[in-house]
Chains A and B, each alone.
Chain A
Amino acid sequence: MLEIRNLHARIVDDGTEIIRGLNLTVKAGEVAAIMGPNGSGKSTLSYILAGREDYEVTEGDILYNGQSILEMDPAERATSGIFLAFQYPMEIPGVATMEFLKVAMNEQRKARGEEPLKIPEFLKRVKEAAASLSMDMAMLKRPLNVGFSGGEKKRAEILQMKLLEPKLCVLDETDSGLDIDALKIVSDGVNALRAPDRAFLVITHYQRLLEHIVPDTVHVLYKGQVIKSGDKSLALDLEANGYAGVIGEAA
């Protein structure tokens, strides 16, 4: 479903190369965990997948269902089924959350040639999704993410993911800022979406999240490259021994 080939990318502003020859393949139905120390390029990878303009791909390619997405803008990538759950979801004053959800869902439907949702159907879907994440509907009447706690923002990201039904879900440190109860709710939300035609790229620092969202594969990112891949036991090994051993092996 996702194939990243020898990807090199840098920050547009200052030319700093962050991704340096990254290779990664994720199959449909797979949950792939990306782990790595601070500054290894994990968040950058998520932004590049979503199409953020602050980064420039200088070499290599990203294939999604066999097609390069490098020329697609963020909206085109989203409507084609790529979803990024942000590490730090933006607060957008003045844009009501419900209005935003309606626009986003209908824009995606439009791009797929589907009719816009009727209001009752839209409300029903939002209510169901909110209930499954223990979210209060009153929260959704507020402007997007404004005044939400860290945990509420993360839940709101998963809510959007549920409603938009993407095929490739990139979760950027979704566990950060969550207490143990919220982590359970969010993980359950993600697990409920696991499907044979859907893949997940779960970016995290800690093994903790992977106890709840059990990965099929684990990849260690260091200095912009995948230096080691394995199954879920690799995450346990990292938790016990730290990154030093793996980095030493690769060097």
Chain B
Amino acid sequence: MNMHSTPQRTQAETALIDAFGDRLSLLPGDGAVMLKRDDAIEAIKHGLPTRRVESWHYTDLRRLLNAVPDFDPAAMAKAIAPIVAGSTVVSILNGTSDAKVPVLEGVTFQRLSEKLTDGSIAPGLDPYGSDDAIGALNTAFVADGYFVDIADGAELEKPIELQNLQAGGQTHVRLPVRVGAGAKAVIVERQAGDGAALVSSVSQLVLGEGAEVIWLIVQEQPETATHLAQFKAHLGKNSKLTVFFMNAGGKLVRQEIVVRTTGEGADFKLRGINLLAGDTHTDVTMVLDHAVPHTTSTEVIRNVVTGKARGVFQGRINVHQYAQKTNAKMACNTLLLSDDGEFSTKPELEIFADDVVCGHGATVTEIDHDHLFYLMARGVDEKTARGLLVKAFVAEVIEELDDEMIVEALEARLDDWFVAHG
């Protein structure tokens, strides 16, 4: 008899463990990959994180993940038009990449299933911490995705759009991207579908010296899907990374953003908007490590909460002891439009260096009545005026991206959401 009686497994935990047994023979990977998968499922056997695990305090995954759909081999997702016309598109449909990869100068695409089979991806499958439930779930089940390599000095004129599209069941994908020294690229990570799927998606970005990347995460899952995603990045010397996310869907969503500056002079910007509606739960959790001196970061998050939606932003900035001259600023602003909606913000600064500038701020507001009066005094009816002000609140973050092609594309996504939820 085990004295430490394990708590009874939830239906979801049992389903995941059973699914692993069923799927094992179908999952690609050599011995090294299989070892990682075994470790990962062990972590899940210990139970999904609850609110007692600090990083999951506002998103009790064990309680919220109350059903896990079966894998559905018959599910058929269709590729969609990219948000920026002329983008190079690679699609993962229901967790499976396309054997035909695009040809683009300076860029190599490879199916991730191949890299799992030959084991070359195995070192990247490590979780980033003991509470990395998304990493564990993904490592256990990941079957495909794309590996993208952008050559040193390549400057891409048009974005690369990585589409992860589901039509129900479960999909577990990975998107490792290496951007060479001095290369410039815009990468769109498109997360969407129309089924009540369980999706885990892990993106891993490595930026070489002086590389500049804008990474846009556009998440528009249906209000029936569970979307567990992770974006991890290492920023080399003098590299610049802007991550923009837009959460505009999903029943249960957790988007983790884990970034580490590994070279001096690196700059990280996080900009994001959460458009929350219905009876949904959306959590954005960032862990940023300023690990070397002279690196900078700013984070601006804007949230619109309607209906019974619940939102979470956790922003943790760790400034390591020798990371002097770090400059970090974080802001999280929420527009609360309903009595039943809620948003929780938890900024955390852990600073071990003594010569740094760090700050954070959070606000929760309603629509500004003076602004509303002004617009109405010009003949704009109340509903339209409110819509204009709400859109303005989030559009400000988009406009700051300062790239007409991207701003237009994202505002179109924004308009779609407002049409659906106006």
Contact = CB atoms under 8 A, between A and B. Distances in A.
Interface string A59-75: 00000000000000111
A127 interface: no
B373 A74 contact: yes
A75 B385 CA distance: 10
A120 interface: no
Interface string B365-404: 0000111011111111110110011011111100100000
Contacts of B370: 90
A110 to B, nearest CB: 9
Given A94-B393, A94-B395, A107 B373 contact: no
Given A53-B369, A92-B371, A75 B376 contact: yes
A107 B384 contact: yes
Nearest to B372: A74
Given A75-B379, A100-B378, A108-B379, 14 more contacts: A51-B376, A51-B377, A52-B373, A53-B369, A79-B379, A83-B377, A90-B374, A94-B389, A94-B392, A94-B394, A95-B392, A103-B388, A107-B380, A164-B379
B389 A78 contact: no
Interface of A: 50-53, 73-75, 77-79, 83-84, 86, 89-90, 92-95, 100, 103-104, 107-108, 111, 143, 160, 164
A218 B385 CA distance: 36
A104 B380 contact: yes
Nearest to A85: B377
B375 A100 contact: yes
Interface of B: 369-371, 373-382, 384-385, 388-389, 391-396, 399
Contacts of A78: 376-380
Contacts of A50: 373, 377
A143 B396 CA distance: 10
Contacts of A160: 378
A179 B418 CA distance: 43
B377 A103 contact: no
Contacts of A84: 377
A95 B389 contact: yes
A90 B371 contact: yes
Contacts of B399: 94
Contacts of B373: 50, 52-53, 74
Contacts of A77: 377
Contacts of B376: 51, 73-75, 78
A103 B380 contact: yes
A155 to B, nearest CB: 16
A75 B384 CA distance: 10
